[in-house]
Amino acid sequence: MTGTLANRLEDAMTFSPDLRADIDRFWSTIERSAEVGKGRPGGLSRLTLSDDDRTMRDIFVGWCRDAGLQVDIDELGNIFGRRNGTQNDLPPVMIGSHLDTQINGGRFDGIAGVLAGLEVVRVLNDAGHATRRPIVIVDWTNEEGARFSPPMVASGCYVGKYAPAWVKDLVGDDGARFGDELERIGYNGRTNCQAGEIDAYYELHIEQGPILDSERQQVGIVTAGYPSHGMRVQFNGKTAHTGPTPMDLRHNALVAGARWLTAVDDIGWDFAVGDGKATGARLAAWPNKPGILSDSAQAICDVRHPDPATARVMAEKMRRALFESAAKAGCEAVIEDEWFWGGDIFDEEMVAGTREEARRMGFKWRDIQSQAGHDAYFLATHCPTAMIFTPCKGGITHNNEESCEPDDFLAGVNVLLHAVVARADR
């Protein structure tokens, strides 16, 4: 073995604990992304599988290729950028999030997680460090569910929760079909949407809550997800004239839905002390016009609470309120979908690892629970998973006023970098 080769191998084997991500470089990718699919002032409206989504995907794929990654796109448009390690038969360490946004979304939600993965790869490239295991960065399709409901379908499919054909047949409020739009923007890839063995999955995300910001913490070590129970419901009634139809002969599906949303909001207030939340998020009735009672309404509600037992009680109250609301309006209620997220789903060793990196680098950190749904929740059903939260101003999110500064990512991106490399090199 020549000295040069030995040096090269040594470089490949060690990764200096003093190396840091280039936050300016990371920020420049955030700013480039913020130019694609602008929404209300300062925000983004980059709905999944739209023209703007395609433009952003093209940019991201270009960045991946420039970084020497091997790009694969699966049948649901998930984009994987793979950086080989020294032992490529080992399962990879994965870093992912999403580049799509809500219709009135911000510039950081999801996006920061994908681009933090890109920054990790770029730092490794600059350092000339080959990790032992491969690293794969991912952009998951349709995390938001803002165009095609439910959310997180593509990561869900990846871990076997949904069937690809079912996902492709989803139809948005705009009448477009998921599969058709995927093909239209040219991101219907050839590989199956099916996870192989994965060593670990990391996701960095803005907190989407006010805790880190209000406590001036630099990074949140996510220990669990708020247990969250949700339902999508169809109410069936009967159209009739709004004028002469007596109250006791009415079957107004819109009123059934309104009553349910009201009852669920009441549940939220009843459990607000203790940090419970309940949301009436959607109510879409038909014909939904003056002069006629609606015979159909679709509604989506959910409840969340940090304590699993309390969350279960809230969920049961939501369920009973459903049938009570339907009965009061003389309508039928059909539960079309139910879901549960959260709980102690994250990998203790990985969580401890991220915490240790935050401590080692001297960042102000705290343990925190995640309150929103994330692709990481699905990945956690398949492989060891951890999340890292970064602060956002006032916790404002899903709003064009979502706001972060470059410094807000200093701790999170570096914790991600060192946690990933440690994991990939072990």
Closest to 49 (Cα-Cα) out of 180, 193, 192? 180
Output phi, psi for 38, to 5 deg. -60, 140
Residues in 352-381 at the binding interface with its own copies, rule: CB under 8 A: 371-373
| Residue 334 engages its own copies in binding (rule: CB under 8 A) | no
Residues in 203-222 at the binding interface with its own copies, rule: CB under 8 A: 207-210
Q: What is the dihedral of CA 50, 51, 54, 55, to 10 degrees?
A: -140
| Residue 41 engages its own copies in binding (rule: CB under 8 A) | no
CB of 171 to its own copies, least distance (A): 14
Residues in 83-142 at the binding interface with its own copies, rule: CB under 8 A: 102-104
CB of 42 to its own copies, least distance (A): 13
The span from the CA of 426 to the CA of 91, in Å, is: 12
| Residue 226 engages its own copies in binding (rule: CB under 8 A) | yes
CB of 154 to its own copies, least distance (A): 15
The span from the CA of 418 to the CA of 413, in Å, is: 9
Between 32 and 238, whose beta carbon lies closer to its own copies?
Answer: 238
Binding mask 395-414 for its own copies (x = CB under 8 A): xxxxx---------------
CB of 96 to its own copies, least distance (A): 18
Closest to 29 (Cα-Cα) out of 123, 128, 108? 108
CB of 345 to its own copies, least distance (A): 15
Closest to 121 (Cα-Cα) out of 78, 91, 82? 82
Q: Which of 242, 306, 313, 340 binds its own copies (CB under 8 A)?
A: 242
Helix, strand or coil, per DSSP, at residue 94:
strand
Binding mask 255-274 for its own copies (x = CB under 8 A): x-xxx-xx--x--xx--x--
Between 270 and 348, whose beta carbon lies closer to its own copies?
Answer: 270
The span from the CA of 160 to the CA of 187, in Å, is: 20
Q: Which of 3, 41, 175, 246 binds its own copies (CB under 8 A)?
A: 246
Between 237 and 384, whose beta carbon lies closer to its own copies?
Answer: 237
Between 26 and 226, whose beta carbon lies closer to its own copies?
Answer: 226
Amino acid at 133: R
Question: Please, what's the b/e burial string for 26-48 (b: 16 or more CB within 10 A of its CB; e: otherwise)?
Answer: bbebbeebbebbebeeebbbbbb
Between 115 and 283, whose beta carbon lies closer to its own copies?
Answer: 283
CA atoms in the 13 A half-sphere facing the CB of 253: 24
Question: Which residues are annotated binding-site positions for Zn(2+)?
Answer: 98, 109, 144, 205, 398
| Residue 304 engages its own copies in binding (rule: CB under 8 A) | yes
**Packing angle, helices 410-425 and 111-127, rounded to 10:** 60
CB of 72 to its own copies, least distance (A): 28
| Residue 281 engages its own copies in binding (rule: CB under 8 A) | yes
Q: 219-236 and 200-206 as β-strands: parallel, antiparallel, unpaired?
A: unpaired
The span from the CA of 408 to the CA of 204, in Å, is: 12
Q: Which of 19, 90, 176, 292 binds its own copies (CB under 8 A)?
A: 292
